[in-house]
Structure 1
Amino acid sequence: MTKVMILTSIIDDFYDVYGTLEELQLFADALERWDITEINQLPEYMKVCYREVLNVYNEMEELMRHELGAPTSNNRRSSSYHIQYAKEGMKQLVRAYLVEAKWLDKGYTPKVEEYMPNALISAGYYSLTTTSFVGMGKMVSEEVFEWAMSEANFVRASAIICRLMNDVVSRKFEQERGHVASAMECYMNQYGLPEEEVEAELNKQVEEAWKELNKGLLRPTAFPMPILMRVVNLSRMIYVLYKHEDAYVHSNKKTKEHITSLFVHPIPIS
């Protein structure tokens, strides 16, 4: 999971900052084919990342087979569909990144209705959710992956929290650097609203998404609680990172303090 998050961050930087549109198309095409021979089509700076993406998912599959014991038709199929859904999540994410790169290249600000479906994918939480399920064993059926990939309300709420909190706190820095329009720009452009009103509206939508998560935890569900908690904990992580500022990009401030408080100055338990 950690390796996938690191690779996701690197790929995000390719699409946000470093890559030309032609290079980004090549990377997306190579990932769709998921074949090491495609590496020869990529520019040098992308090759290491592409190779590691393939290696990490291969490593995940090998670990799953080891945990499941001697190969049987059942556990071989289990490890296979776990990894296939995780791979599809990564492919879906890169497709969304490419859409945003094309918007930025054209200087295009989409309407909210066009922006949000793609932005919820590019937030990365559908991909990370499916990856977080890998290795949870028989608890995670194929139906669980289908539920996550279908953008069910519970998982969608997590993606909304991630996307909108990110867009609110990161807006000024990203627009100064040159970035695809965020939800803030889309709302302001489409409805002619001032920044303060749009920010209040997006924060309201984040609150509603938290209510959706709480509702999903309180009502009966077909899936075990550990499945749901993976989704909730990803949302909690984003809340910590984006509550007051973009503590992911500017990690030498709040993020450093959080890490220090956890591992350097932990709370004593007597």
Structure 2
Amino acid sequence: MTSEQQSVFCNQMQSEAFGEIKIDQSLIQRRNANYKPNIWNYDILQSLKSEYSDGKYITQLIEAQKLKEEVLCHLAEIVNPLAKLELIDSINKMALSHLFEKEIMLCLQDMEYAKKKDSGGEMDLYSTALYFRIFRQHGYKVTQDVFLSYMDKLGDQFEVDANMDPKTMVQLFEASQLALKDENMLNEARIFCTKNLKSSNIIPMEMPLHWQVEWYNTRGKISKQENEQRGPNFKLLQLAKLNFNMVQAEHQKDLVDILRWWRKLGLIEHLSFSRNRIVESFLWSVGVAFEPQHSNFRNWLTKAITFIILIDDVYDIYGSLQHLQLFTNAVVRWDPKEVEQLPVCMKTCFWKLYDTTNDVALAIQQQKGWKLPVSTYLQKAWAEFCKALLVEAKWDAKGYTPSFSDYLDNGWKSSGGPVLSLHVLLGLAQDFTQVMDFLENEHDLIHYSSLIIRLCNDLGTSAAELERGDLSSSVLCHMKEANVDEDVAREDIKDMVMETWKKMNKHCFDNSALSLGPLIKYIMNIARVTHFIYQNGDGFGVQDRETRQQILSSLIESLPLESEKTVLCNTHIYIAKKKKK
């Protein structure tokens, strides 16, 4: 856009009477983000029908309950504290903790009492790291001092052999990710383990467990346990595989429902410039709350994620500055009459947002029996989101690169994180007082989670944004302000992500045992999904790599049980041939 065009835009922006703005269509220049088209065949996805949701389901429920009881017996029989912690860890990794919540908490209470009673007992570094991680995850006040005996006299460095067994080093690395701000011993542990694991040919470095999405990794964790299936955890493995398929069947039913809604909505036909990512949006909602009882929540959250993507593309790609002013004003006032001057696609986008938000609000109120106007809270969240996007649009229109702090002050809102967080609170809280309590006392957690969305998003998309002429992202703002090259800026932002996790950890560990604990976990899950989506680039813009594989493994392909392997292999061949035709 030329400076003359920008000047005209800025003059037109001065008018507060939006209805009097006359839009000169000759000044509007559309951008093209070159997003790839949708890769999914909705007809095939809507025909998904798992045998775990047909007439055999009752039999499978009975079998799952029997296996659960056998695992509980095994857990109760274990005397060795390390063995018990390892079993609890396996339960968590195979996404079974929601089946054993009370039993796990009772085990940890008993173990903590026994440990206090026998304070003279010593553990090796592996056991200490596992103990620290499991107990801190569950809200126990475990301090970093448990590692004091492994530090030098000054407490600055770990006095351990760099050639320690990989199992111990990985456990110490995972424990270090639960650090709080200023916990220097844990920071030293992270640096020590990261350096040695990166140089090791035995253990590949992966994203820390604390940042990973529980459900996305379940299939891989189960596969790793296959080699030990004849050992003491055989029943746990059987339960994990059966539970995976049963939960996946629920997800498939949810996906069919959301696809039916999406196709009936007919919005993408009007926004051909935008990303058609309904399946990826559903994957995100599964990552936030995979448990089968949260079907309605996944439906509501998927709709919110989809509109975040569409509206973001309207602001980034399609709308002129005058159009975006009008669209923002309509969302702020929540008034369909305000969009009469907009192009048909933007009108339609607002109308669909308006109707969908009101429908979701009504569904939440009816399910929970709330009389409070949920739509008012959702509307305000959408308004703040659009206002933040408008700020970025004005920066781009002026060719202005904001300061790093100004960018982040606005960027955590434009990330969509507050919208997602509010849907989490409204969708998963047991009563409205929990929502108000969270917004009053834990608002910083929403900020930190949203900030991670913004930073990870920018790390994954900054190259493409720079190519299409965007002037504001955390990477670009930091490069300009600090006068550093892109590689340095990216490393600095990764460090900022690490520090933000430390701040989030405090909220988690201070409150995980209280009534807000589950809500805190789900807010943090938003950040975890973000890490997956943007770990190797833009997992939404380019969805045919890790995102595609995750959808196949998590949502579509069931885990073959021993008696099913041959049958399922033949079925997969049939599906592949069918797709090819």
Q: TM-score, normalised by structure 2?
A: 0.43
More helix by share: 1
Report which of the two structures shows the higher radius of gyration computed on alpha carbons: 2
Residue 219 of structure 1, CA deviation: 1.7
Q: In the alignment, which of 25, 28, 35 is matched to residue 325 of structure 2?
A: 25
Change (3 A) 1:66 1:208: same
Which segment drifts farther, 251-260 or 55-64? 55-64
Residue 11 of structure 1, CA deviation: 0.6
1:35-90 residue CA offsets vs partner (Å, 9 max, x unmatched): 22223232211111101111112112221332245xxxxx312xx1x332222111
Q: In the alignment, which of 27, 46, 53 is matched to residue 353 of structure 2?
A: 53
Aligned 1:3-18 pairs, distance under 5 A = 3-18=303-318
Residue 183 of structure 1, CA deviation: 0.8
**Corresponding residue pairs, total:** 259
2:492 is the alignment partner of 1:192: no
Change (3 A) 1:2 1:102: same
Aligned 1:102-141 pairs, distance under 5 A = 102-136=394-428, 137-138=430-431, 140-141=434-435
Aligned amino acid, residue 95 of structure 1: K
Q: Output the CA distance in 2 between the equivalents of 1:129 and 1:118.
A: 17
Residue 29 of structure 1, CA deviation: 0.7
Residue 269 of structure 1, CA deviation: 6.0
Residue 19 of structure 1, CA deviation: 0.8
Identity %, equivalent residues: 29
Q: Equivalent residue for 2:522?
A: 230
- Contact 1:83-1:134 within 8 A present in 2 as well: no
- Contact 2:426-2:435 within 8 A present in 1 as well: no
Residue 268 of structure 1, CA deviation: 4.3
2:377 is the alignment partner of 1:76: no
Q: Output the CA distance in 2 between the equivalents of 1:100 and 1:68.
A: 37
Gap runs ≥5 in structure 2: 1-300, 563-581
Q: CA RMSD in A?
A: 1.8
Aligned amino acid, residue 17 of structure 1: I
Which segment drifts farther, 237-246 or 130-139? 130-139
Q: Output the CA distance in 2 between the equivalents of 1:138 and 1:243.
A: 35
**Following superposition, which runs of at least 4 residues in structure 1 exceed 3 angstroms of deviation?**
145-148, 220-223, 266-270
- Contact 1:101-1:180 within 8 A present in 2 as well: no
Q: TM-score, normalised by structure 1?
A: 0.89
Q: Equivalent residue for 1:142?
A: 436
Which segment drifts farther, 125-134 or 209-218? 209-218
Change (3 A) 1:235 1:269: farther
- Contact 1:93-1:122 within 8 A present in 2 as well: yes
Which segment drifts farther, 96-105 or 171-180? 171-180
Aligned amino acid, residue 166 of structure 1: N
Gap runs ≥5 in structure 1: 70-74
- Contact 2:533-2:540 within 8 A present in 1 as well: yes
2:472 is the alignment partner of 1:181: yes
Residue 8 of structure 1, CA deviation: 1.2
Q: Output the CA distance in 2 between the equivalents of 1:86 and 1:147.
A: 19
